[in-house]
Chain A
Amino acid sequence: MTLWNRLMCSARRRSPWLFHMNSGSCNGCDIELVAALTPRYDAEQLGVLLHGSPRHADILCVTGPVTRSSAGPVRTVYDQVCAPKAVVAIGSCPASTNAFIDSRVVVGPLNRHVPVDVFVPGCPPRPDAIVQGIAAAVEILARRGAAAPQAQQPAAHETPPKAQGVRP
């Protein structure tokens, strides 16, 4: 590995920028994601910043069970995030649609629409579990960035080979 690649690898590890997307969540997980950035948990120590535009982000954080009207936007936002990128599914809803299973307006779980790298289970998950999930996604991001450019990203609508879980 050349010096530049090593530098890039450690930069990717130290500077994860997030974009938060709500795909029909009850707001419980959204509040916990914000709590992860507040003084008690302070995710900015890991270089984490919540950004306003998906174009700026490295990690897409999705909450909610993916409702029929949000499935399209989820795919659009996923495509707007520039490579290398990772997806973190926050809460039980994007993993299994949770309490909304069998609802006719829910078309989840999330990995039917975009490839998910890390699941953070919980209803809602604790902020420290979310921070742990982001830290796991950062490692995936660094590995993916170091890989060859053509193998950088699984195409959308394809399930990833293996998703990682975070113990709550």
Chain B
Amino acid sequence: MNLLIALARLLIFPGVLFAVPFAWLYLWIERKAVAAMQGRIGPPFPQPFWDFVKLLGKSTPPRSGIDGLLMRAWPLIAASSAAGAVGLLPVLPSSGGFQGDLILLLALMELPAICVIAAGFTSRSIFAEIGSAREAVLTVSYNIVFLLAIVSIAASQHTFRLESLAQLPATPLRYLAVIGILLCIPAKLHINPFSLPNAEQEIYAGPLTEYAGPELALWELAHGLEWVAATGLAATLAVPHVGAGWLAALFFVGLSMAIVLLLSVLAAATARIAIDTTVRFYWQCTLIFAVLAVSSALLWRVRS
């Protein structure tokens, strides 16, 4: 991938210039859909944008030393890695890429969760620490399924290159893996029924209890970018590339929005479940999907 294309992907499409407004849009769609499900009107159109701007103008409590430095660094790392993950998505056909970019994408998608855990422990608030511990357990529980689902697609096609994965024709195995990924996205995004790390009111605001002002704004942005990256990954894997570039982009946006709507409806329809139930759900029920996907991928390899 030459440098110019890489920069264009990172900064323009599907990177920062596209991802930031769409992060706000997806957050708004989520809130609006939840409101509609509850029979409310919900927030006005650019609400997450106003929230972001307002948070930029608020003061932050004075923090000094290494704690203050780390507290400022975590949201920055989280937001930039989520933006990088969006930039790596193979949205446009023949947009470049490199061998192993799937592994980089998975690492970048994992980084915000690690930053949240670290941020909770850095802030030294007891509620943040409880939230971080829950986040750590949640990460361990859903990641096995998430990674197995992705590995099954990659193993069946003998490649870790996103570009080649996105161009391959749809097979039943691929849909099995996409269902596995979709089952993990609510936990990745901390929405109901897996909202236990940031359990509102229950443990104040979870790992971000001590955050305020611009740092909180960056966290909100990172969360929105995680929405774009997670739904985008599912969308690019679900539908193989069709036709021209603009058609592929349109398909990507439409499908991502449909997934956002689906997840919001799920969030509005369910209540928060406890940590042991969550772990049991992922390690007992959902693991079947992942094992099925991996075993059929191996069979596929043996046959071909």
Seen from chain A, the residues whose Cβ lies within 8 Å of a Cβ on chain B are: 7-8, 10-12, 14-15, 17, 38-39, 42, 44-45, 47, 50-53, 55-56, 58, 80, 82-84, 145
Partner of A83, one of B42, B51, B59, B206: B59
CB-CB nearest 3 A-B residue pairs:
A11-B53, A53-B205, A52-B205
Q: Are B216 and A47 in contact (CB under 8 A)?
A: no
Say yes or no: A11-B54 contact (C-beta < 8 A), given A45-B42, A47-B43.
yes
B47 contacts the other chain (CB 8 A):
yes
Q: Which of B35-81 contact A (CB under 8 A)?
A: 35, 38-44, 47, 50-51, 53-54, 56-61
B252 contacts the other chain (CB 8 A):
no
A85 — nearest CB in chain B belongs to which residue?
A: B58
Apart from A45-B42, A55-B212, A82-B60, 6 more pairs, CB < 8 Å: A8-B56, A11-B53, A45-B44, A52-B201, A52-B205, A56-B208
B211 contacts the other chain (CB 8 A):
yes
Q: Are B35 and A11 in contact (CB under 8 A)?
A: no
Q: Are A8 and B47 in contact (CB under 8 A)?
A: no
CA distance A110 to B224 in the complex (A): 38
Say yes or no: A55-B61 contact (C-beta < 8 A), given A14-B44, A42-B41, A44-B31.
yes
Chain B residues near A15 (CB, 8 Å)? Answer: 47, 50-51, 53-54
CA distance A82 to B213 in the complex (A): 8
CA distance A165 to B303 in the complex (A): 78
B209 contacts the other chain (CB 8 A):
yes
Q: Are B204 and A47 in contact (CB under 8 A)?
A: no
CA distance A125 to B44 in the complex (A): 26
Chain A residues near B35 (CB, 8 Å)? Answer: 42, 44
Tell me the minimal C-beta distance from A151 to chain B in angstroms: 14
Tell me the minimal C-beta distance from A47 to chain B in angstroms: 6
Chain B residues near A145 (CB, 8 Å)? Answer: 57
Q: Are A8 and B59 in contact (CB under 8 A)?
A: no
Chain B residues near A14 (CB, 8 Å)? Answer: 44, 47, 50, 54
CA distance A14 to B55 in the complex (A): 12
